[in-house]
Amino acid sequence: MHEAATMLMRSFARAGRALPAIKGRGSLAIALSSLLLKAGANHIVQCKMAAGHRLQLDCRVPGHCWAFFSGKYDDERPHLRGASVPEW
């Protein structure tokens, strides 16, 4: 069941990225993700974002779930993309 739930979540995410921007799409994505996580889907996912980069996301976090289904994560804030990580 775990593998089937994970495959369904990935399929729904691909379909979600293909949908036009309609009202309620985010709520639907979070609801579907919640149900599939309860069914045993893997909460750590990797996906290719609309900007072309890949992210590893935790779908237990609603913002990450939305990024997984939409393909966008902080796209409105371009100063965050390509920012360097300070070395400690």
pLDDT in tens, 38-73: 888 888 888 888 778 888 888 888 888 888 888 887
pLDDT of 25 over the 60 cut: yes
**pLDDT tier at 75, thresholds 50, 70, 90:** low
Query: Highest mean pLDDT range out of 27-31, 39-43, 79-83?
Result: 39-43
* pLDDT for the residue 79: 47
Helix-, strand-, coil-residue percentages of the chain, each rounded to 5: 45, 10, 45
Average pLDDT over residues 14-25: 78
Provide the terminal-to-terminal Cα distance of the chain, rounded to the nearest Å. Answer: 43
Q: What is the pLDDT of residue 3?
A: 85
pLDDT of residue 1: 56
